[in-house]
Amino acid sequence: MTARARRLGLLLAWLAALVLLAWYCITGIRISTDLRSFMPPAQTADQQLLMEQIGEGPGSRLLMLAIGGGEMDRLAQLSRELLRTLRADAHFSQVINGEFNADMLDSQWLPYRYLLTSSFDAQPLDEAVLADQLQQRVEDLGSPAATLLKPLLPRDPTLEVLALAEQWSPPKSPQVRDGVWFSPENEALLLVQTRAAGFDPAAQGEAIAALESAFASITTPNDQAKLTISGPGYFTVLVNASTRAESEWLGRISTIGFILLLLLAYRSVAVLGLAALPIASGALTGVAAIALMFGEMHGITLAFGFTLLGVAQEYPIRLLSHRRAGESALQSVRGLWSLLLTAIASACIAYLAFFASGVTGLMQLAVFTISGLLVAGFSTRYLLPRVLPEKFRDAAQTPGLGRVWEWLEALPRPRWLPPALLLLAALMLWLAPAPFWQNDLAALTPVPKDLLQREGRLRAALGAPDVRYLLIIEGKDAEGVLRESERVSPRIDELIARGVLDGAELPSRYLPSVETQRQRQARLPDPAELPAMLQAASAGLPFREDLFEPFLADVAKARTLEALTPAMYAKSPLGARLDAMLVKRGDHWLGLGSIIGMHDAQAFAELTRESNGAVRLLDIKGASESLVAAYRERILHAFGIAIVLLVLTVFIAFRDVHRAWHVLAPMTLATILVLAVLRFAGTPLSLFHLVALTLAAGLGLHYALFFERSTPDAAEARRTLHATLVCVISALLVFALLALSSIPVLRAIGLTVSLGVGFHFCLSILMARKGRARSA
Amino acid sequence: MWLLLACLPGMCLASPAEFDARAVVSGLKREVPARTPYVEVRFSQMFSRPMVTRGELEYLGAGRLGKRVDEPYQETTTIADGEVTVQRGSRKPRRIELERVPELDGFLRGFSALLGGDVAALEEHFHIAGSADANHWRLEFAPRDARLARRIKAIAVDGQASAARCFSIIEADGDASIMLVEQQAAQPLPQPLTQARLERACRQGSASR
């Protein structure tokens, strides 16, 4: 077999292995987008509740819809049709548009109205109340609304159905026109609750797609009506999409630049393709390793992992730049291997700290990065040299490189510079504006301002609940929660009257406790006495004698009904609504009330004290920020251990304190400088900055290691410079572009890595290179 | 006065064949404010006997109507600026925005257009039909709006020459409300009070009993 055939065979085998790996990854792994699986275990009770409820609280699963543009008649019609379509769709647990809920007229549920209504709590349904009600009905029948009320009267002369409909409509409901909600801007409004959690972008994406296709199916091409969607779930989807779109767009540009750079550096298309193989192998192995160990991978792990794996692109570049005449690629790589191995080993050992963190997301990140780096490194060492073409251009001959080398060599290297820089960095960190950390992850992927304004407008128009606050009512069982909810209800009404909040939705508004239902049942008139009472009450009124038979039957039935429990209620048309407000947790139950328009969260402290903590306000934003802070603490611990491990590895590899210092000092100083510049510019740091700093440090380690290496001749020194320059420029190409992004999270990563690459390169040249001082 | 009509050549009816319903409507236009006492008789399947109420109607110009019930209970309904306000005894007044209930809006607009003699506005909401004989004419308005039509079959007006006698609202389920106005309101009600007798009284007028 010729050398060429052997090369080709090996290449094909490699590619085939990659295809198999890719197939395994695609079939064997599920990418999760639920933010919760990337979060650490909760520490406090509130955090625990948040972990369970994040995105599942009633407020965050709400989508607000507005149908605007066109005649009001048509908009109202569309609103009704959309409601019917969505009610049949399993993505949604609740759809309301202000329409009188005809389901409530279902015969099966109607008798329960006397157990659910609070109308007769103050004064029981006696002759006086009934006489007054019947007189009002006579008057109603003479009014323009007569035809609307007529169908209800025989069964429901006190109009309890309407009273309940009012009780169940949002506390501050919008204007009803033509039977459905309308905004002041003449849009038909709907409220939709998704079954999916609010911060699960994939599931929300499905729900929103279902919404849009439902709307498309009911509109005709002639319709000018437009559907507007707003709400936390929609924003999650939107922000994810725009972040992905922008990073893909920037990614394409930087890929083109990267290809041009490699072509310019190595003048070979074949080399370009081959150089991509180690990192592709590493990435696929990383994903496969996670598939094997976890079966599921978080989207954030994938994004962070690929970022960190960027270090591995250095390996083939080093090999390509260091090839020289009279030496096979294998021989070249052997000469570099000890340094590469030091870099790979120290990085892998450092990432072990992440594995030990105990947080699933971080463990996945460690598995991905370690296996990726190992495979990329070893395939560069053992496979890549065997498939590279024999013909190559010596990088040392690159025009102009010699002059750059001379210039760098001639740079002054004052010994006071590093301490001065350190002092400067310390000063900048000292003076940097607060806060140091960005705990609000949402701030990194902000929602466009006009959408937020629209959100505020629709939320106000619909009286939709606040996403930030949740009222927690604790009880030992569901009945206990409902009783507590009833007890606290008048207190909350007081708070509303005081202007502390605009409104609240409590579980007991939908379902009173069994105790209350039984009390109401007992107060209902005796079926034996009711006919006589009705006759007396309607004396002098024109009603037909047998007209109210259905009413008599319903009251009689209501007296014998078994009180509604949440389980029974779940089967009713409003079941899903209550279901979202009552959750069992461990040995007790929680009621989740939503708050509308919170003005003074402090005022709730009183309520919490009175109820011995059974009723309390959960600040979702506060709890999630404290969760992020706790998470970051764990990551920082992992980083701390990682740094110690890295330093130890470098010392052990060199067995020379002086040399190890020359590698570690520029890396450390550069990292501190990046931090100082970011902080001085007023950027609060987030997890994304930390990951980006780690990547930059990994790259910096390479620069320092290679510059520190003693080189046999000037040509080899130029090859080192060539490799480093290609690495630096390619990293800058990718990350400087990201730094220009309009999305803060991409900008955070881009800016941090770009600054890092710049500082690491400059400091490596100045500090790691054996300057004249040492060689003299 | 309430139904003070200018007797236009076209509507001073010569023969049934030439009856022009639109001309009659446009002739119903009158000066505002116009007031008339009324007697309303409601026939309903829900009632064992007709329900009689008495009070005063008021027309204050386009889209502005008032109805005051004096007997057997007190109630004032005001329709103005697209809003219905109902005040009963000493209770808190209730307000309904007409825009919220378009069918009611269409009904009241049509009714107001009828009192204002505005044919164009009336035709926007109703199909107009009519018939006449020597001393009586009857106009019938069927709602165009399908939702309203499900509730209200027609509004009918009976009258003679330049004066209306009765406004009838015939509901889709057969219930009817017949309102006697002007001089007809001052006449004693037929006894026994049935829908057929009352309708005959509207056709024949006070003079022809």
pLDDT in tens, A92-136: 888 888 876 555 556 778 888 899 888 888 888 888 899 999 988
The whole-angstrom distance between A97's CA and the closest CA on chain B is 13
Q: Do B51 and A179 touch (CB under 8 A)?
A: no
Residue of B nearest to A146 (CA): B151
- What's the CATH code, domain A1-29+267-393? 1.20.1640.10
More confident residue, B205 or A590: A590
The answer to whether A144 faces chain B, any CB pair under 8 Å, is yes
Whether B3 has a pLDDT exceeding 60, the answer reads no
pLDDT-derived band at B206 (thresholds 50, 70, 90) equals low
pLDDT-derived band at A208 (thresholds 50, 70, 90) equals very high
Q: Do B46 and A179 touch (CB under 8 A)?
A: no
Q: Label the pairing between strands A469-475 and A615-619.
A: antiparallel
Nearest to B180 by CA among B29, B42, B82: B42
> Three-state SS across A63-104?
EEEEEECCCHHHHHHHHHHHHHHHHCCCCEEEEECCCCCHHH
The answer to whether B99 faces chain A, any CB pair under 8 Å, is yes
The answer to whether B92 faces chain A, any CB pair under 8 Å, is no
- What's the CATH code, domain B19-204? 2.50.20.10
Concatenating the DSSP letter of every residue in A333-349 gives HHHHHHHHHHHHHHHHH
pLDDT in tens, A67-92: 998 888 889 889 999 999 998 888 88
Residue of B nearest to A142 (CA): B42
CA Rg value for chain B: 17
Q: Which residues contact A407 (CB under 8 A, 6 or more apart)?
A: none
**Averaged pLDDT score across all residues of chain A:** 84
pLDDT-derived band at B28 (thresholds 50, 70, 90) equals confident
Q: Do B51 and A154 touch (CB under 8 A)?
A: no
- Rounded CA separation B143/B122 (Å): 10
Residue of B nearest to A175 (CA): B100
The answer to whether A546 faces chain B, any CB pair under 8 Å, is no
Nearest to A641 by CA among A440, A360, A356, A395: A356
The answer to whether A212 faces chain B, any CB pair under 8 Å, is no
Instruction: Name which of A81-90, A437-446, B2-11, B171-180 the model is least confident about.
Output: B2-11
Q: What is the pLDDT of residue B39?
A: 92
Residue of B nearest to A135 (CA): B73
Nearest to A748 by CA among A694, A698, A684: A684
The answer to whether B45 faces chain A, any CB pair under 8 Å, is yes
Q: What is the pLDDT of residue B14?
A: 38
pLDDT above 70: percentage of residues in chain A? 93
The answer to whether B149 faces chain A, any CB pair under 8 Å, is no
User: In chain A, which residues fall in CATH 1.20.1640.10?
Assistant: 1-29+267-393, 396-431+656-776
Beta bridge partners of B156: B140, B168
Q: Do A175 and B100 touch (CB under 8 A)?
A: yes
Residue of B nearest to A144 (CA): B104
Cis upstream peptide for A170 (omega within 30°)? no
For A716, the token pair is 């080899």
Whether B71 has a pLDDT exceeding 80, the answer reads yes
Q: Do B99 and A143 touch (CB under 8 A)?
A: no
Q: Do B50 and A542 touch (CB under 8 A)?
A: yes
- Name the amino acid, one letter, at A244: R
Which of A223-237, A479-493, A608-622, B154-168 has the highest average model confidence (pLDDT)? A479-493
Of the candidates A144, A150, A547, the beta carbon closest to that of B84 is on A144
Whether A452 has a pLDDT exceeding 50, the answer reads yes
Q: What is the pLDDT of residue A767?
A: 83
Q: What is the mean pLDDT of residues A349-353?
A: 80
User: Has domain A396-431+656-776 been given CATH number 1.20.1640.10?
Assistant: yes
pLDDT in tens, A526-572: 988 899 999 999 888 889 888 999 999 999 999 998 988 888 887 77
Whether B17 has a pLDDT exceeding 50, the answer reads no
Q: What is the pLDDT of residue B100?
A: 67
- Name the amino acid, one letter, at B187: Q
Spell out which residues of chain B touch residue A141, defining contact as CB-CB under 8 Å: 42, 44, 46, 51
CA Rg value for chain A: 35
The answer to whether A185 faces chain B, any CB pair under 8 Å, is no
Q: What is the pLDDT of residue A284?
A: 93
Of the candidates B51, B100, B173, the beta carbon closest to that of A138 is on B51
Question: pTM of this prediction?
Answer: 0.68
How far from A714 is each of A143, A405, A406, A686, CA to CA, in Å? 103, 9, 10, 43
The answer to whether B44 faces chain A, any CB pair under 8 Å, is yes
Chain pair A-B, CB pairs under 8 angstroms: 71
> Three-state SS across A126-143?
CHHHHHHHHHHHHHHHCC
Spell out which residues of chain A touch residue B173, defining contact as CB-CB under 8 Å: 150
pLDDT in tens, A240-281: 788 778 878 887 888 888 888 888 888 888 888 898 899 999
Nearest to A338 by CA among A618, A93, A705, A610: A705
Of the candidates A73, A148, A545, the beta carbon closest to that of B48 is on A545
Q: Do A141 and B86 touch (CB under 8 A)?
A: no
Q: What is the pLDDT of residue A569?
A: 82
Helices (H), A580-656: 605-610, 620-654
Q: What is the pLDDT of residue A512?
A: 92
Q: What is the mean pLDDT of residues B24-38?
A: 79
Whether B16 has a pLDDT exceeding 70, the answer reads no
Whether A577 has a pLDDT exceeding 80, the answer reads no
Of the candidates A136, A177, A544, the beta carbon closest to that of B47 is on A544
The answer to whether A142 faces chain B, any CB pair under 8 Å, is yes
| Residue A174 and residue A182 in contact, taking contact as beta carbons nearer than 8 Å | yes
Q: What is the mean pLDDT of residues A390-413?
A: 84
Instruction: Name which of A29-38, A263-272, A370-379 the model is least confident about.
Output: A29-38
Q: What is the mean pLDDT of residues B157-179?
A: 86
The whole-angstrom distance between A178's CA and the closest CA on chain B is 5
Q: What is the pLDDT of residue B207?
A: 46
Q: What is the pLDDT of residue A517?
A: 92
| ipTM of the complex model | 0.81
Whether B84 has a pLDDT exceeding 60, the answer reads yes
Q: What is the pLDDT of residue A760?
A: 92
- Rounded CA separation A443/A441 (Å): 5
Q: Label the pairing between strands A615-619 and A582-585.
A: unpaired
Interface test with A, best of B52, B68, B101, B148 (most A CBs within 10 A): B101
Is the C-alpha dihedral spanning A287, A291, A294, A297 positive or negative? positive
The answer to whether B145 faces chain A, any CB pair under 8 Å, is no
The whole-angstrom distance between A144's CA and the closest CA on chain B is 7
pLDDT in tens, A122-132: 888 888 899 99
Of the candidates B42, B97, B171, the beta carbon closest to that of A147 is on B171
Concatenating the DSSP letter of every residue in A105-130 gives G-TTTGGGHHHH--TTTSS-S-HHHH
